[in-house]
A and B are shown apart, each in its own frame.
Chain A
Amino acid sequence: MKLLAVAIAAVLAAIVRIMFFTPIELLQGAAQKIYYIHVPAILSAYLALGIVALMSIVYLWLHDERADRLAESAGEVALLFTTVTLSTGPIWAKPIWGTWWTWDARLTLTLFLWFVTAAYLVLRGAIDDPIMRGRYSAVLAVLAVLLIPFIHLSVYLFRTLHPMPIVLKPDRPSLPVEMLTTFLLSLGAFLVFCVALIRARYRLALLRDATAVP
């Protein structure tokens, strides 16, 4: 519980710093500040998804229910952070790029991660037997890892061979020190928050499994 409290405090502190103590970026204006939420969110999601993938492999190999429980917890947290990414992205994109959505490789892949993570959780929800649930979701996770390069490759090819609407995309500016500090602080806060959430969710899963009616 303490870690979660600390994490929440860190995230709030980061938000305060973002809003009040970070200069407004010249070209993009105030909307650019979403970047400090958006990028840490997706990086945290990657961390959580990495845990899901790794724990799935461990579970298939060792059949240890703790690995499955950790994968489940990380999966839910991953969905949360991916949703945050996909929500903050368009909010940032509209004033900057002039469009809510574009099918560039990174966005499309993020959207896919969202779909696959959601499918992972729905699959888990549809199976009562804990052992079958662990195995099936682990199989899905491992196959999803294999899928990602194909999504990336086919979307990349699609874009390079297709004329896409030209979207004004300013180069990512090299961040001055203050902004970099804010970014790193926010990233740190998000990662701690991610880990804290996974831990809390894991404890919840442990409690649920311990009191499960046979």
Chain B
Amino acid sequence: MTAPPPAPAPVVHATLLAKRFGTRVAVAGVDLTLNAGECLALFGPNGAGKTTLLRLVAGLLRPSAGSVQVRGVDVRRDAHARSSVGLISHHSMLYAPLTALENVEFTARLYGLADPRGAARRALESMRVVDRAAVPVRTLSRGLQQRVSIARAIVHDPTLVLLDEPYSGLDEAGAAALTSLLQALRGRGATLVVVTHNVSEGLALATHAAIMTGGRFARFEQRDARAFDAQRYAAEYRELVRHGA
């Protein structure tokens, strides 16, 4: 009788993860396990450590304590393991003098895609910004830059997408494009971590919801558990933020 195959490593696995900047503690000990296809909506007041947590998962920061792995691998050390991760952050991560297409095509090349230009076009199309493909990013509005930045982050069809306030700056059309993009990604089995202040948008796609304050998870629950009530959650979150945790 053969043993059953081992369960695949969780997509995100953080244990006692902490990050200090000098004497300031940004992340004070976080445990997190996300499996394939799950979507975590991460809420919290400013300065709670959400961005730092995301950057730790992306491998941009070295943990001060604890560890974080993507599919069982430390992405800080292993370049190849980064192939399936996409990051959207506060900054556009674009090169202002280059066009939208050039920016996304550059990223496509970095990931070794077979047809970088085609993939770039498709990514820009998915964010409904392909009509501005040949324009230097510098001349685009903030909202359009955000769309290009999102296209850049997903051009390689990542299976783990980390989004830091992705809806900020987007108008209705942009937000709709992003939501359908995220749904498409989830449909393909991608795992998402979305940091947002917009509770309803965040909960729309989430399988899990967490509130982070003072570098820790104050609350963490599965959204599809029977006891979950989105409206009450939103209200409780607003209370938490108003009174400070």
Contact = CB atoms under 8 A, between A and B. Distances in A.
Chain A interface helix/strand/loop/mixed? loop
Contacts, number: 11
B2 interface: no
B141 interface: no
Contacts of B24: 214
A56 B102 CA distance: 41
Interface residues of B, number: 4
Contacts of B21: 129, 131
A91 B22 CA distance: 45
Nearest to B25: A214
A62 interface: no
A131 B20 CA distance: 10
A131 B24 CA distance: 12
Report which residue of B21, B23, B24 has the largest number of chain A beta carbons within 10 angstroms of its beta carbon. B23
A60 to B, nearest CB: 13
Nearest to A65: B22
A146 interface: no
Contacts of B23: 212-214
A212 B24 CA distance: 10
A98 interface: no
B200 to A, nearest CB: 35
Contacts of A214: 22-24
Contacts of B22: 129-131, 212, 214
Interface string A195-214: 00000000000000000111
Interface in B14-71: 21-24
Contacts of A212: 22-23
A212 B23 CA distance: 8
B62 to A, nearest CB: 9
Interface in A141-193: none
A131 B22 CA distance: 7
A213 B21 CA distance: 12
11 contacts: A129-B21, A129-B22, A130-B22, A131-B21, A131-B22, A212-B22, A212-B23, A213-B23, A214-B22, A214-B23, A214-B24
A-B CB proximity, top 5 nearest:
A214-B23, A214-B24, A130-B22, A212-B23, A214-B22
Interface of A: 129-131, 212-214
Interface of B: 21-24
